[in-house]
A and B are shown apart, each in its own frame.
Chain A
Amino acid sequence: MGARLALSLMGGSVLAFLLAPILFVIPMSFSSSMVFELIPTQPGLEQYHRFFASSEWMLALFLSFQVAIGAMLVATCLGTLSALGLVRVRHRWRPVIEAFLISPRIVPSIVFAVASYYLYSQVGLVGSVTGLVLAHAVLAFPFVVVLVTSALYSFDRSLEEASKSLGAGPIRTFFRITFPHIRLAVFGGALFAFNVSFDEVVVTLFISGVRTKTLPVKVWDAILYEITPILPAISALIIVASLLMLSPVLFFYRRRSSI
């Protein structure tokens, strides 16, 4: 019985260690003083106000949205295409293609950051929105591939054959037969892609310009060069936004997966 109790205590404390730090920042964000306090003495929305009133922060937020939406669209379209192509390949090259498609998740971000920076500096893409969208799309792409491929495995492909033999073209077959089945995975992948781009900092640090700083890069600068009480409020906003965006995905996958 003692072992059982010790195990519960241990497991419980690790779970608390994982979750608690994230919760601390939320009450702190309502502070109106310049020092960090867990329970604000004079709670207020001052920091949130300062964030939304600052044109600099708003520009960064707007740019982050712009880039994330662009990266999401590119990653979702290309990711879905490659998942559709991948399940059709019966060749022994398939594992190689699959490994290549998900490799942006394996390559350390600093390595990709250096490579993109080098390439962009030759073609004049450093500091451009296009450059950010392309690099973020590369990083977000494997998530879409993995999710959509696994949805396609549970899809009876003979339905596609039936649709074709009844005279529907490939595009019509996709939208009428295949897409309804993989819809949730595609939307889930798109949300992941958005989130990956919205949070990306290492690659963005290298390829963003002075005038194209995304929200995470602005946060990075603020952490390093100015101690500002606005950061807990921004952190709290990012946390809430991530949770809101990912809760549908979590809900859906919790129900399906075994763990």
Chain B
Amino acid sequence: MPPPGARDLSKLYLLGPPLVFLGLVFAFPLVQVIWGSFFAPEFTVQYYARMVRVSVYAQVFWITFKISALTTLFCLLLGYATAYFLASLPPYRRQLALLCVVVPFFISLLVRNYIWMILLGRNGLVNSWLLTWSVISQPLELMYNELGVLIAMVHMLLPYMIFPILSALLAIPPELIHASGSLGAGALRTFIRITLPLSLPGVAAGVLLVFIVALGFFITPALLGGPKQMMISNLIEFNIRQVLNWPFGFALSNTLLSGTLLLYFLYVRLLKGRLPAVGFP
């Protein structure tokens, strides 16, 4: 055994370069942004006050919350059913079916959003099919509104819901289900009394994960939303790049960051040790 001092030193030379790198290129600029929102150049909280005072900005926060909550709700409904279906498949077919979830997950967000624009546009594929089959006589407004944003966001975020629920479902010992059945419970009752409660940690993980990621969405509301679907990320971009109100952009950015971190701590606290490895992320 080397002396404890030497061990500490070896850790330092391994962890040192990455920590310095992250410190300089990641943590330092974040601290600068926090600083810049309060000192511009004298100490002030006016930029934070403005978020609350001006109703347009409060509106953006409400929209961000509403779209994220609706996305989470639809992801939960669709994701639970899909995870349950996947869990009921024999392992080999489950692997194949899972490719449908994994493959889109790895494909560029921008490309996936663009594809939804092609599909949902006024002259898009969905409208032209519906028109050809005479289901509708006028093209539907599927894009540049909340519907378009929701469809695309649910598509992007469903995997975040399906993975944790599926791993929670697969961790339920099959004997429990058999026991419940042989004791006389029907399929529905077994589901409500056994499967559902045991899968709740997966549900909680999925719900928090989807909601956290949804809060910071930028590309989808920018491309598929209209002016009324401006989310907080888009408002930040607008202030930093278009109107150059940097301190206000910083204050918005810090608010989003604190919200995200808060929810993430909740996620870690709530689910510590309760969930089998979720995999990525």
User: Could you tell me which A residues sit within 8 Å of B by CB distance?
Assistant: 3, 7-8, 10-12, 14-19, 21-22, 24-25, 28, 35-36, 38, 74, 78-79, 81-82, 84-86, 88-89, 97, 100-101, 103-119, 134-135, 137-138, 141-143, 146, 170, 195, 198-199, 201-202, 205-206, 216, 219-220, 223-224, 231-232, 235, 238-239, 242-243, 246, 250, 254, 257-259
Would B18 and A78 count as touching, CB distance under 8 A? yes
Would A202 and B125 count as touching, CB distance under 8 A? no
Asked whether A206 and B240 contact (CB < 8 A) given A138-B25, A259-B163, the answer is yes
Would B118 and A201 count as touching, CB distance under 8 A? no
Would B115 and A115 count as touching, CB distance under 8 A? no
Within 8 A of A (CB), among B219-245: 219, 223, 233, 236-237, 240-241
Contact with A along B27-55 (1 / 0, CB 8 A): 11110110010000000000000000000
Complex-state Cα separation, A104 to B117, whole angstroms = 29
Would A242 and B100 count as touching, CB distance under 8 A? no
From A11, A88, A135, contact of B7 by CB (8 A) = A88
Would B114 and A258 count as touching, CB distance under 8 A? no
**Any chain A CB within 8 A of the CB of B158?**
yes
**Which residue of chain B lies nearest to A25 when distances are taken between CB atoms in the complex?**
B115
- Chain A residues, CB < 8 A from B101: 15, 18
Complex-state Cα separation, A246 to B124, whole angstroms = 30
- Chain B residues, CB < 8 A from A28: 118
- Chain A residues, CB < 8 A from B216: 108-111
Complex-state Cα separation, A17 to B82, whole angstroms = 11
Complex-state Cα separation, A243 to B22, whole angstroms = 29
**Which residue of chain A lies nearest to B212 when distances are taken between CB atoms in the complex?**
A106
**Which residue of chain B lies nearest to A110 when distances are taken between CB atoms in the complex?**
B233
**Which residue of chain B lies nearest to A9 when distances are taken between CB atoms in the complex?**
B85
**Any chain A CB within 8 A of the CB of B276?**
yes
Asked whether A79 and B18 contact (CB < 8 A) given A10-B85, A116-B29, the answer is yes
Minimum CB–CB distance from A239 to chain B (whole Å) comes to 5
Complex-state Cα separation, A103 to B56, whole angstroms = 31
Asked whether A119 and B32 contact (CB < 8 A) given A36-B124, A110-B253, the answer is yes
Complex-state Cα separation, A110 to B257, whole angstroms = 9
From A117, A235, A254, contact of B95 by CB (8 A) = A254
Would A101 and B115 count as touching, CB distance under 8 A? no
Q: List 25 A-B contacts (CB under 8 A).
A: A10-B85, A11-B82, A11-B86, A14-B82, A18-B155, A24-B119, A81-B18, A97-B19, A100-B27, A103-B26, A108-B218, A108-B256, A110-B218, A110-B236, A110-B237, A110-B256, A111-B33, A137-B25, A146-B281, A202-B218, A219-B114, A223-B223, A238-B108, A239-B108, A257-B279
Stretch of B8-16, B135-143, B175-183 lying at the A interface: B8-16
Within 8 A of A (CB), among B241-281: 241, 246, 249-250, 253, 256-257, 260-261, 264, 276, 279-281
Would A259 and B98 count as touching, CB distance under 8 A? yes
**Any chain A CB within 8 A of the CB of B110?**
yes
- Chain B residues, CB < 8 A from A106: 212, 260-261, 264
Minimum CB–CB distance from B246 to chain A (whole Å) comes to 7
**Which of A78, A105, A202 is most buried by chain B, counting CB atoms within 10 A of its CB?**
A202
**Any chain A CB within 8 A of the CB of B130?**
no
From A21, A81, A104, contact of B116 by CB (8 A) = A21
**Any chain A CB within 8 A of the CB of B192?**
no
- Chain B residues, CB < 8 A from A142: 281
Minimum CB–CB distance from A186 to chain B (whole Å) comes to 14
Contact with A along B75-108 (1 / 0, CB 8 A): 0001101101110100000110111111110111
Would B30 and A201 count as touching, CB distance under 8 A? no
Would B81 and A10 count as touching, CB distance under 8 A? yes
- Chain B residues, CB < 8 A from A14: 78-79, 81-82, 158
Complex-state Cα separation, A15 to B78, whole angstroms = 10
Would A107 and B30 count as touching, CB distance under 8 A? yes
- Chain B residues, CB < 8 A from A243: 103, 106-107
Complex-state Cα separation, A146 to B25, whole angstroms = 20
Would B25 and A22 count as touching, CB distance under 8 A? no
- Please list the 5 inter-chain residue pairs (A to B) with the smallest Cβ-Cβ separation, ordered nearest first: A11-B85, A108-B216, A85-B14, A85-B15, A115-B29
Asked whether A104 and B261 contact (CB < 8 A) given A15-B82, A15-B101, A115-B32, the answer is no
**Which residue of chain A lies nearest to B94 when distances are taken between CB atoms in the complex?**
A259
Minimum CB–CB distance from A45 to chain B (whole Å) comes to 19
* 16 further contact pairs, Cβ within 8 A, besides A21-B115, A119-B28, A216-B108: A3-B187, A7-B88, A11-B81, A21-B155, A22-B112, A82-B19, A100-B22, A112-B30, A114-B240, A116-B25, A220-B110, A223-B223, A243-B107, A258-B167, A258-B170, A259-B98
Would A21 and B112 count as touching, CB distance under 8 A? yes
- Chain B residues, CB < 8 A from A242: 106-108
